[in-house]
Amino acid sequence: MERKTRFDGSVQEFACRVLLLEPGKRAVIRYDLDRDWHVGGMVFAKGGYTAGHFWIDRPYNVYHWMSAAGQTLAYYFNVGLVDEISEAQVAWRDLIIDVLVKPDGAIDILDEDEVPADLPPEHRGTIARALEQIVTNPKRLVAEIERESRSAL
């Protein structure tokens, strides 16, 4: 199960299938789309799936969005902190900012307007680190995600 805690404290849970698990380190989990998802101006159709990549030591996670046929549609990075990777769940805290990387290499940074002015400095630092890591070399990250998704599926 994936457990996402939004910045406002609300919680979302998603039933997922574990594809790769290194407790306390990293996980890749699959979520099958039971409805159309609208993200950053894109629509990911029901029947497709995501391979969600999570690491304890990175300030982001990534959803590798794929069509039902396995075609890459996008890479969706969420700035956040992973609190738990275990047999029971992957639990993480969302820090608002998302980055959508399209297969053609286009990058959209989303939700910057939602960051509160009084965001604690440690969260601002996490956001800055995540954006630096994602935007500085997205090709390397996308290649890593693509390779790991394909080997885990």
Output the pTM of the full model: 0.96
What is the pLDDT at residue 93? 98
Q: What is the pLDDT of residue 37?
A: 95
Interatomic CA distance for residues 35 and 73, integer angstroms: 16
- Determine the pLDDT at residue 47: 97
Which pLDDT belongs to residue 153? Answer: 82
pLDDT at residue 74, as a whole number: 98
How far is it, in rounded angstroms, from Cα 97 to Cα 131?
9
- Fold of the domain built from segment(s) 2-152: FomD barrel-like fold (2.40.380)
The domain segmentation of the chain, as residue ranges, is 2-152
Residue segments in the chain with a per-residue pLDDT below the cut of 50: none
